[in-house]
Amino acid sequence: MIKVDISNVWGQISLPELLALEKEVFAAHNTLTEGNGPGNDFLGWLDLPVESPTEEMKRIQLAAEKIRANSDVFVVIGIGGSYLGPRAAIELLQGCNHNIGKGKGNPQIFYAGNGLSTRYWNELLRLLEGKDFSIAIISKSGTTTEPAIATRALRAMLEKKYGVVGAKDRIFAITDPCKGALRQMATEEGWETFVIPPSVGGRYSVLTAVGLLPMAVAGIDINAVMSGAFDAKQLYNLRSFENPVWQYAAVRNLLYRRGKCIEILESFEPGFKMMGGWWQQLFGESEGKDGKGIFPVTAEFTADLHSLGQMIQQGERNIFETMVRFDPPADRAVVSADWKDLDGLNYLAGKTLDFVDEQAFRGTLAAHVDGGVPVITMDMGQLNDTKLGELFYFFELSCGISAYMLGVNPFNQPGVEFYKRNMFQLLGKPGYEK
């Protein structure tokens, strides 16, 4: 179980205030699990974790084996939750530089359709030169602008390289089971498809084929991921403040009511950066509506202590932090001795790097608390495939409960459509004329 430490928020809020929220948290948790709140047609993610592999998961593993065998590169086409979840999983477990040295048998994984930058597109084309590649198109509709543009181009490249028939074996569609342009396209073209359940929104879809296929292609054990999520589903159904999900959801809402309107999610692991991006979308789209919401920000320590550290330490006191920690890996690095000691580091000679990292964490925590910033800490324990599944489910459940406590629908995102309308009007899309 993830350990949540709230001892460094006292003074900003009190224990009696937290305990007074018990009925409110209980009600929010019940609203979520009983499906009687707003957005209750998008609760399918609650039951995604399973104890044994489903037929869909077995097909995902077979497809992943085929992709790993015939492709140097696997391109994931999607935007928002359609790419943040899988990328977060792969980089957390395998690091930011996981693509270096990879090829057929263990493909490099790149992403497309998550923006409109020509420079990014040209870079991707250079990376694909002379490579065998396959693609996964992830979209419920198939008409979202960014992924649709990337799909057109990459499909054409595949058909030019392998022929129309050969390309079919390298295109995988992850979409709605029955409707939408991508479903129609996949059916007409004969592409292999996997399902995004209609009751699962994009930002809650990481435990569907959306996340599982890219994870499996990366060599992650998706059965272990799902096992971790299944265990989390049982563990975090506890209805008391012994539940770390309750602690996290309740404390962040109490801090918000005390004027702490910005949450910074931090880790001392560079590979956590995209997990922070996934968390940012999860909470940002779920809570940011009706003039309410805690603004989610993510930071990488110790690197960002040399940029954001000053603001956190002495800036406006409208922030709180959530620090995420993992156990050190089995392979430890040791600081060496140097006979000249010009850098003055010999006092650390023989110490492990994770020991230095731990002291940096403790020193940062103490400094920020002394500076008036409440800090929640999360001890994740050992980082592995099983823990990844638990982590995803922990944050999803926390988000649903927290948003209901906030009094908003956790599962819609009406504001996202505004920029699209303006863009379509400027682009001259039919039906969007002034």
Report pLDDT digits (tens) over 125-175. Answer: 999 999 999 999 999 999 899 999 999 999 999 999 999 999 999 999 999
Please report which confidence band the pLDDT of residue 94 belongs to, taking 50, 70 and 90 as the band edges.
very high
The pLDDT-based confidence of 421 (bands split at 50, 70, 90) is confident
Instruction: List the one residue out of 241, 245, 194 whose CA is nearest residue 222.
Output: 194
**Cα 419 to Cα 413: distance, rounded to the nearest angstrom:** 12
112 DSSP β-pair partners: 77
pLDDT at residue 415 in the model: 83
CA distance 229 to 235: 10
Mean residue pLDDT across the chain: 96
Predicted confidence (pLDDT) at residue 57 exceeds the cutoff of 90: yes
Token digits for 146?
């960014």
In angstroms, the CA 254 to CA 14 distance is: 10
- Assess contact for 285 and 416: CB atoms under 8 A: yes
Residue 345 CB coordination number (10 Å): 14
**Across residues 34-50, what is the average pLDDT?**
95
Structural contact between residues 294 and 269, judged by C-beta atoms closer than 8 angstroms: no
Chain centre distance of CA 265: 12
**H-run or E-run covering 319:** strand 319-325
- Count CA within 13 A, CB hemisphere, residue 288: 16
**How many CB atoms neighbour CB 26 within 10 A?**
15
Whole-number pLDDT of residue 174: 97
Examine the pLDDT at 434 and tell me if it is beyond 80: no
C-alpha pair distances (Å), 184 with each of 128, 142, 188, 192, 194: 28, 9, 6, 12, 13
Q: Are β-strands 3-8 and 375-379 bridged in parallel, bridged antiparallel, or unpaired? A: antiparallel
Q: What is the pLDDT of residue 429?
A: 85
Provide the pLDDT for residue 213: 98
For residue 315, the 8-state DSSP code is S
Q: Give the SS3 label for residue 129.
A: coil
Output the DSSP codes for 374-418.
-EEEEE--S-SHHHHHHHHHHHHHHHHHHHHHHTS-TT--TTHHH
Q: How far apart are CA 283 and CA 277, in angstroms?
A: 10
For residue range 220-275, list pLDDT tens digits in order.
999 999 999 999 999 999 999 999 999 999 999 999 999 999 999 999 999 999 99
Region 5-23: mean pLDDT is 96
- Amino acid at site 205: S
Give me the pLDDT at residue 136, please.
Answer: 98
Distance CA 81, CA 337 (A): 46
Res 56: pLDDT: 96
From the list 403, 117, 408, 66, the residue with the least C-alpha distance to 253 is 403
User: What residue type is 414 in one-letter code?
Assistant: P
Count CA atoms within 13 Å of residue 2 on its CB side: 34
Q: How high is the pLDDT of residue 417?
A: 78
* pLDDT tens, residue by residue, 335-363: 999 999 999 999 999 999 999 999 999 99
CB 109 within 8 Å of CB 50: no
Outline where 95-190 has alpha helix (H): 118-128, 145-168, 181-189
For residue 364, give the nearest of 255, 284, 268 by alpha carbon: 268
d(CA 82, CA 138): 6
- Residue of 295, 312, 285, 224 whose CA lies nearest to 260: 295
DSSP 3: E
Query: What are the structure tokens assigned to 259, written together?
Result: 């004027």
Residue 433: predicted pLDDT: 76
Segment 362-391 mean pLDDT: 97
The partner residues of 267 in beta bridges, in order of sequence, read: 300, 324
DSSP 177: S
Q: How far is residue 307's CA from residue 312's CA, in Å, rounded to a whole number?
A: 10
Percent of the chain with pLDDT over 70: 100
Structure-block tokens of residue 280? 């940012």
Q: Which residues pair with 77 in a beta bridge?
A: 112, 137
CA 180 to chain centre: 25
3-state secondary structure of 8: strand
Give me the active site residues, please. Answer: 285, 306, 420
